[in-house]
Each structure stands twice: as structure tokens, then as C-alpha cells.
Amino acid sequence: MGVFYVEPEKVAERYGIEVVADESLGEDIYGYGRVDDNGKGKIGYNPKMPERKIRFTVAHVLGHFLLGHFAEEKEFMEKHDNFDSEAPVLEDEANMFALELLIPKDKVEFLIYGKGITSPKEIANILKVSEVALVHMLKKYSIL
């Protein structure tokens, strides 16, 4: 099947946004997004985190960039991710962007209906996302 999952770092780079591992981040910081004085975007992530959390963090911060959130802010620090209704609007929008980027409906449907893969754990492994994120999207897509 080859690479079937989305690589958010490559998507960011296509938009001219630099993605870097930042060893200086404390364990409570997942990552950040910044715009420098020249308008150049940068996404930093904590390389000490698990791969799936890194992928979500990069996709989430990319969402802040592509959804225009940096018009109001110069920097976003990412300290946690959640999918609850209490999240601030900009965070909720960035979360949904990340989820839809990493878990596209057409790929989920292909795995389930085209390949007969029905285990959420297996689908999450193929897409390199957490089971929590996958189940959230399965509910959103009315597949679960």
C-alpha cells in the first residue's frame, strides 16, 4: 500500500512553513507556531513526545497558520490537546483541522469498505494517529 498516511511536515513545507524539532522545549510543551518579523512561519515540536503526538501537534499548528489565526496572534504555544467543548474557539478549529488532515474520510472509508479493516486500533496504526482521535472522527463521519 506504500505510504498511506498524511505527512503534516511535508504539507507545512509546501506552504513555506519551516518545521523543526526543538530540544529546548520542556515536557509540558508539545510545540509552537511563530511568525517572524518578515512574515515567515515556523512550527516547532517537542521531539521527546511520541510520534503520533508530534504528528498531531504539527498538523494542529499548521491549522492555526492556514486558518488565519496568526492575523490575531504572533505565537501559539501548544501545551495540551483535547476535543472537548470547553476549548477556546481557535484551539477547537485547529484541532478539527488537524483531525481532518490526518484522518480524511475517504481514506477511512477505503480502509473499512475497500480493505475490510474494521479494527479502530489497526486503522489508527495505518494512519499513524491515536485511537482517541480516530474514534472522534469515526463518530463525526457517522461511521461508528
Task: Give me the pLDDT at residue 104, please.
Answer: 96
Instruction: Reply yes or no on whether the pLDDT at 134 is more than 70.
Output: yes
CA 78 from chain center: how many Å?
12
Residues 6+ apart with CB under 8 A from 44: 19, 20, 21, 22, 25, 31, 32, 33, 34
Burial class (CB in 10 A: 0-12, 13-18, 19+), 14: exposed
All three cell numbers of 105: 474520510
**Residues 78, 46 contacting (CB under 8 angstroms):** no
pTM for the full predicted model: 0.90
Instruction: Reply yes or no on whether the pLDDT at 93 is more than 80.
Output: yes
Instruction: Reply yes or no on whether the pLDDT at 72 is more than 80.
Output: no
Task: Give me the pLDDT at residue 84, please.
Answer: 58
Q: At what angle do helices 89-102 and 51-66 cross, to 10 degrees?
A: 120
